[in-house]
Structure 1
Amino acid sequence: MEFGDYQRTAALTSHARLESGGPQAALAPMLGLASKTGTILNVYKKYLRDSIDLAANRAILTEELGDELWYIAAVATACGLDLNSIAEANLLRTRDRYHGEITVEDLSGLPSFDSEYPMTERFPRKLVLSFIEADGSSGVRQARMVVVSAEPNAFPDGRVTSSDGKVLGFQVGGGLGDPLTDNSRQPDNYRYHDAIHLGFMAVLGWSPNTRSLLKLKRKSDQATDECEDGARAVFAEEGLAAVLSRLAKRRLGFLTELSVDGEVIEVAKAAVTDLEVDAMPSWLWRRAISQGFSALKQLADNEGGYLTADLDARTLTYAKMPT
Structure 2
Amino acid sequence: MMSTEPGDFSPLTIAAYAAQALSTDQRSDQASLTFPLLGLFGETGSLLSEVKKKHRDRASYIGYAEAVVEELGDVLWYLTVVAARGDLSLETIMASAASGGADAGQTPRTLASLQPAIMRRSSEPTAAFEHTLLKLAGDVGLLVAHHEAGHLAEPTVLADRLVTITRTLIQAANEAGVTLEAAAVKNLAKILDRWPRERIYPKPLDADAEPEERFPRDFHVEIFERQVGDRTYVFQRCNSINIGDRLTDNAMRADDYRFHDVFHFAYVAVLSWSPVIRALFRLKRKSAPKIDEAQDGARAILIEEGITTWIFGQAVDLDLFADMKPGDLPFDLLKHVRQFVTGYEADQCPLWLWEEAILQGYAAFRFLREHRRGQLHIDMNNRRLSVEALS
Q: Shorter-normalised TM-score: what interval?
A: 0.7 to 0.9
Match of 1:152 in 2: none
Match of 1:68 in 2: 162
RMSD: 2.7
State the secondary structure of the residue aligned to 2:241: coil
CA distance in 1, matches of 2:360, 2:292: 27
Match of 1:181 in 2: 248
Whether 1:229 and 2:296 are equivalent positions in the alignment is yes
Whether 1:283 and 2:349 are equivalent positions in the alignment is no
Match of 1:35 in 2: 142
Normalising by structure 2, we get a TM-score of 0.65
- The CA deviation string for residues 235-277 of structure 1, in whole angstroms up to 9 with x for no partner, is 1001111111111112231232444211211221111110011
Alignment of 1:265-304 (within 5 A): 265-304=334-373
- The CA deviation string for residues 127-185 of structure 1, in whole angstroms up to 9 with x for no partner, is 21111112233x232111111xxxxxxxxxxxxxxxxxxxxxxxx21011011111112
Match of 2:226 in 1: 134
Shift of 1:35: 1.8
Match of 1:159 in 2: none
Match of 1:150 in 2: none
User: Which of the pair has the greater relative contact order for Cα pairs under 8 Å at 6+ separation?
Assistant: 1
Match of 1:10 in 2: 97
Partner amino acid, structure 2, of 1:267:
H
Partner amino acid, structure 2, of 1:298:
F
Match of 2:185 in 1: 88
Shift of 1:69: 5.5
Among candidates 106, 118, 133, match of residue 26 of structure 1 = 133
Match of 1:240 in 2: 307
Partner amino acid, structure 2, of 1:60:
E
Shift of 1:120: 1.2
Structure 2 residue runs of 5 or longer lacking an equivalent are 1-12, 15-89, 102-114, 117-126
Shift of 1:304: 0.8
Deviation larger for 59-68 or 92-101: 59-68
CA distance in 2, matches of 1:221, 1:307: 30
Shift of 1:42: 5.0
Is the Cα–Cα contact under 8 Å of residues 219 and 225 in structure 1 kept in the other structure?
Answer: yes
CA distance in 2, matches of 1:122, 1:76: 50
Match of 2:377 in 1: 308
CA 10–65 in structure 1, closer or farther in 2 if over 3 Å, else same: closer
Match of 2:211 in 1: 119
Partner amino acid, structure 2, of 1:95:
L
Match of 2:332 in 1: 263
Structure 1 residue runs of 5 or longer lacking an equivalent are 44-56, 148-171
Quick one: percent identity of the two aligned structures? 28
CA 8–259 in structure 1, closer or farther in 2 if over 3 Å, else same: closer
Partner amino acid, structure 1, of 2:187:
N
Normalising by structure 1, we get a TM-score of 0.77
Shift of 1:5: 8.8
CA distance in 1, matches of 2:130, 2:92: 21
CA 189–36 in structure 1, closer or farther in 2 if over 3 Å, else same: same
